[in-house]
Amino acid sequence: MEPVLAATAVSKRFPGVVALSEVDLTLHGGEVHALVGENGAGKSTLIKVLTGVYTPDTGELTYLGETTGFGRPADAQNAGISTVYQEVNLVGQQSVASNLFLGREPRTRWGLLDFRAMNRRAADLLAGYGIRVDVTRPLRTLGMGVQQMVALARAADTRARVVILDEPTSSLEPREVDTLFTVVERLRADGVAVLYVSHRLDELYRICDQVTVLRDGRVVHSGPLAGLPRLGLVAMMLGRDLEEVRRDGATKFEGEHTAERAEPVLTATGLTVKHRLDGVDLAVRPGEIVGLGGLLGAGRSETAMAIAGALPLDSGEVTVEGTRLRTGSVAAAMRAGVVLLPEDRKADGILPDLSVRENIVLAALPRLSAAGLVSRRRQDSIVDTFVRRLRIKAASPDQRVGELSGGNQQKVLLARLLCLEPRLLLLDEPTRGIDVGAKAEVQALVDELARDGLGVVLISSEFDEVVEGSDTIVVLRDGAVTARLTGEDVTEAALLAALAEEGPA
């Protein structure tokens, strides 16, 4: 059968990065095709190439048997390629009906908008999917799930030949997921080609026929999903070779540091945030490195942020050395000695225009001040200590942080946290985007800190970093803990198995 949409040897590069390299993707009508891959694998770029947002550097797109190059997103849409994004991209202020018929509104005999017909047809259309809402209400007054369904119903009703769903279920309730799947089933029955992007393995195995795995901008696998073991799929996504899951010490972590049977420095119980965390329990002892395992979107960053007070909790409590912490306050967590190295260094970490000195003392400023006046002398002594201890390479403490390398920026952020004399360090991707040398230094530093009795929570998308760094690994999926690996079980094989394990249906 002829494919509806095919990308052949598509490459796309950005300054310094190859986002896609010789990627092939073939979508057939009546098939649901899963597109999977971890952060930075190139999924978003590929979607943008398919929908005309980006023009590929090389390679070609074939749509309905003809070579095409969609110059603009509107061309792709008009040709019959609909995309439903994670964040609904409809007009929130307008009614549900208006959104469903945006750009193709029914008209009266006089050429005016026929609202009665529009509302009636909208209600019928949604009722067909089991959704009964007042279609005259503004879209934004409805729940995320319903909004997602409206977006999908719109895509399905515009005689689309290809529907791209980008993480459609991330904000849906289980019941809403079922509804969404009936719509997807209908699309498949109607001969539409569906590209389904998600990290939820259970969903993929429920609904998808084919799968394409991207890693580092390349296709590492493409074929039927049925018969492909979950473990194999996860291993491909993460780039681990199942045949030889070796332990040869690629990282700078060394062995264990746990102070046996010590009382936990941190106990978190029942951390719950709607749609993001579902009753996460976590305990960290002094000197212990607890790794958080999980695929993208499993709730690792959210867990760290909730403990650090940066994500307000719906319920759950955090106890530090026996004292219950006021949750939802970064300042309170810091006073208790809990600090977070955020995942996104540029957006949430550095102040690029300020100096190395100011970036380091930022959080400690009140402690280094008397009567609201900053003490330059006390600042200098702290800054001096940490620049030397962490070997931060800067021309002087007055140099702008924006001018430093990624690794040195990361060290500046670590210094900002360490000068607060923390008891628990939450590290979210501490070595992402920094060079090999700095990476080894950061790993060695974390090791050393743990040996000195600091409790550490480590999140890393690099598999060996988690496995070799951690004494204990807590595995998350869909915001809940699904496994705990300790002692001898902290191995790549065990972690892979835990990640691939089937969830509750």
The candidate with the shortest Cα–Cα distance to 29, out of 74, 72, 63, is 63
Number of residues counted as binding another protein (CB under 8 A): 37
Name the strand (E) or helix (H) holding 176: helix 174-189
* CB-based contact 478:278 (threshold 8 Å): yes
| Closest approach of another protein to the CB of residue 37, in Å | 12
The answer to whether residue 16 forms part of the interface with another protein (CB under 8 A) is yes
Q: How far is CA 134 from CA 88, 107, 114, 126, 442, in A?
A: 19, 21, 17, 10, 55
Which strands form 472-477's sheet, in the order they lie side by side? Answer: 338-341, 424-428, 455-459, 289-293, 472-477, 480-486
Closer CB to another protein, 47 or 466, in the complex: 47
Q: Which two tokens stand for residue 162?
A: 């290809």
β-strands 455-459, 289-293 pairing: parallel
By three-state DSSP, how is residue 11 classified?
Answer: strand
Contact with another protein (CB under 8 A) among 4, 334, 418, 424: 334
Indicate the residue type of 255.
G
- Residue 144 phi/psi, 5-degree rounding, is -55, -40
Site string (408-437) toward another protein, x via CB under 8 A: --------x---------------------
The answer to whether residue 354 forms part of the interface with another protein (CB under 8 A) is yes
Contact with another protein (CB under 8 A) among 10, 34, 35, 40: 40
Contact with another protein (CB under 8 A) among 29, 37, 299, 342: 342
Using the contact rule CB under 8 A, the part of the chain among 13-21, 131-139, 451-459, 490-498 near another protein is: 13-21
Which strands form 58-63's sheet, in the order they lie side by side? Answer: 17-27, 5-14, 58-63, 66-68
Contact with another protein (CB under 8 A) among 353, 421, 435, 452: 353
Q: In the window 19-38, what residues touch another protein (CB under 8 A)?
A: 19
The answer to whether residue 362 forms part of the interface with another protein (CB under 8 A) is yes
Contact with another protein (CB under 8 A) among 1, 112, 189, 373: 373
Q: In the window 276-295, what residues touch another protein (CB under 8 A)?
A: none
The answer to whether residue 45 forms part of the interface with another protein (CB under 8 A) is yes
* CB-based contact 455:401 (threshold 8 Å): no
Contact with another protein (CB under 8 A) among 65, 69, 92, 352: 352
Angle between helices 436-451 and 406-418 (to 10 degrees): 20
Closer CB to another protein, 127 or 395, in the complex: 395
Contact with another protein (CB under 8 A) among 9, 74, 127, 365: 365
The candidate with the shortest Cα–Cα distance to 80, out of 155, 186, 165, is 155
Contact with another protein (CB under 8 A) among 143, 312, 402, 437: 402
Name the strand (E) or helix (H) holding 178: helix 174-189
The answer to whether residue 358 forms part of the interface with another protein (CB under 8 A) is yes
* CB-based contact 182:156 (threshold 8 Å): no
Using the contact rule CB under 8 A, the part of the chain among 77-85, 162-170, 316-324, 348-356 near another protein is: 348-356
The answer to whether residue 348 forms part of the interface with another protein (CB under 8 A) is yes
| Closest approach of another protein to the CB of residue 167, in Å | 14
List of residues contacting another protein (CB under 8 A): 14-17, 19, 40, 42, 44-45, 308, 310, 330-331, 333-334, 340, 342, 346-354, 358, 362-363, 365-366, 369, 372-374, 402, 416
